[in-house]
Amino acid sequence: MPDTSVALESMPMRHVILNCGVPPLQAAESHSLSAIPTRTELKIINTICKEVLPEDPTPSLDEIAASPNVAHLGAPGPAPQLIDDPLRLIVHGTDAALAAVLTRLMRIDALWAEVAFIPSEESTVAQAWGLPKEKEFAFEAPVKPKPLIRDDAGQAVAHSATISDWDGREITGEIIVDDTVLLHHSARTRNPRKGQYGARLISTFDAPGIEGNRILSSEHPGGFWQKVLPVAPSLIDATAHQGRAMQAGGVNLRITIDGQSRKRPVERATFYRHLRDLQAVRA
């Protein structure tokens, strides 16, 4: 696989820090936003991207989708836009804040922008991306493209998502990764300590883009186990299945992306690889 990292020393770059609910870092250009930025707040990204790239000469998403060439389904690669002064957005905040910024970039089709992350607390993204504690990394490290995963509600996944029962019980439903049935289960009357509680999705660094595992216990089991056991992370099945898409259908499903749950339960959900790759600053 060719090295798709981009050296920064040879090119000028515009760095923009997005401070999300945290004390702002000092920089030439920074903006203070909510802990999880709202759509209105994130309009600043539209303005910045238009300043850097007023018109995108590359094929649109519709044109890519209609093309018989499926190169976009393979190994992730650098953005095709050739920009004299690249843009790097540095998100300073939580995993959920990063996911909100990625969602905005995806929706305005500006994933050519480089994205770095400075976590403000313990972060699964930082751990997965191998981010050091030194903040200079976000400014100086090279880009390493990776697939971007999204759901059918137009939300981007920074690192992980889960499909579970809304009330923390065993799941009733079916979850499929590409053509493989990951889980097919009907909840029992009583909630066991170990059982079928849903699935976890991880956004991988290479094709096909998704890794799915079954969840074998609930963080909030309720009943007897709630009284005798402390709240603990869910048990995850070691057997992983990879694919481009994960689909779920069932009863009373909770969809959680990078620690943030949807506001109401659903009966179905789909996650899949986006047509553009994420230009991530990672180890």
As averages over each run of 10 residues, the pLDDT of the chain (283 residues) reads 39 90 91 97 98 95 81 84 94 98 98 98 97 96 98 98 96 97 94 93 97 90 49 81 97 97 97 97 97
Q: For position 232, what pLDDT does the model report?
A: 55
Q: Give the amino acid at 74.
A: G
C-alpha separations of 134 from 93, 117, 223 in Å? 15, 11, 44
Place of tokens 């696989």: 1
In 3D space, the residue among 117, 104, 125, 124 whose CA is nearest the CA of residue 143 turns out to be: 117
Report angle CA 148, 152, 153 to the nearest 5 degrees.
100
- Decide: 177 and 208 in contact? Cβ < 8 Å: no
Place of tokens 């079928």: 196
Q: Which domains does the chain have, with CATH numbers?
A: 14-148 (3.40.50), 160-257 (no CATH)
**Phi, psi of 221, deg, nearest 5:** -70, -25
Q: For position 73, what pLDDT does the model report?
A: 72
